[in-house]
A and B are shown apart, each in its own frame.
Chain A
């Protein structure tokens, strides 16, 4: 079992729809959770971080964390073609190392 697993892609949604990206992790000691966006040929950039159970909203993005279920998700509302990218889930323990999922590629079709 991988330490961090993301829903297999690619994921395609029409412009204006909600895109839902999911991630599960195996280490119950994990404390910090991150979503990075990576455009093709570019480096990952942070879009959301979440540390406590519940929802965290930032503009069109909402991260959801459920530590009991070891599950973290990212919702993108009103998806735009510019949201087309690979989204990486990262989980970090207090030991200081992060483990990344393999990524989910999202395509938003106009």
Chain B
């Protein structure tokens, strides 16, 4: 594994409660991503970060916020969880290369299974 951990690995929560998922990397990679994976939808990008305090939205960002105060940590927050946010959440990282962003491979963390009742 590429030195990526996610916590918690499993969480059950109730509708309307706040939830924060953490991604921690030891690779000093610049880019970090949050995806959700649902049956029939593949991996969908929620938010990503291209540096400390630099973040941007992905295709399914509504209801989610992120923060990155340190290179190694990328937090995903569900301000008020809904049942539609029940999913498996993956964090990914990628570095930079002389060829530019477009050549970078993403490495994935082990995932967090979130259930919102």
Chain A neighbourhood of B41, CB < 8 A: 102
Chain A neighbourhood of B106, CB < 8 A: 34, 46, 90, 98
For A11-26 the 0/1 string (1 means CB < 8 A from B) is: 0000000000000000
For A71-110 the 0/1 string (1 means CB < 8 A from B) is: 0000000000000000010101111111111110000000
A95-B110 Cα distance, complex, nearest whole Å: 26
Contact B42 A46 (CB under 8 A): no
Interface bracket on A = 20 to 34
With most chain A CB atoms within 10 A of its CB, the pick from B31, B42, B90 is: B42
Within 8 A of A (CB), among B70-98: 90
A103-B37 Cα distance, complex, nearest whole Å: 11
Interface residue B52 (Cβ < 8 Å from any Cβ of A)? no
Contact B108 A96 (CB under 8 A): no
Min CB distance, B40 to chain A, in Å?
Answer: 7
Q: Is the interface of A mostly helix, strand, loop or mixed?
A: strand
A92-B45 Cα distance, complex, nearest whole Å: 12
- Known contacts A43-B109, A45-B108: A96-B101 contact under CB 8 Å: yes
Chain A neighbourhood of B50, CB < 8 A: 96
Contact A93 B102 (CB under 8 A): yes
- Known contacts A34-B105, A43-B90, A46-B107: A96-B45 contact under CB 8 Å: no
- Known contacts A43-B111, A96-B31: A49-B42 contact under CB 8 Å: no
Interface residue B16 (Cβ < 8 Å from any Cβ of A)? no
Contact A44 B43 (CB under 8 A): yes
Interface residue A7 (Cβ < 8 Å from any Cβ of B)? no
Chain A neighbourhood of B31, CB < 8 A: 96
Contact A44 B102 (CB under 8 A): no
Within 8 A of B (CB), among A29-84: 31-32, 34, 42-46, 49, 51
Q: Name 19 interchain pairs, CB-CB below 8 A, sorted by A.
A: A32-B102, A42-B111, A43-B90, A43-B110, A44-B90, A49-B105, A51-B103, A90-B43, A90-B106, A92-B104, A95-B101, A96-B31, A97-B58, A99-B45, A99-B59, A100-B43, A101-B42, A102-B40, A103-B42
- Residues of B whose CB lies within 8 Å of any CB of A are 31, 33, 35, 40-45, 48, 50, 58-59, 90, 100-111
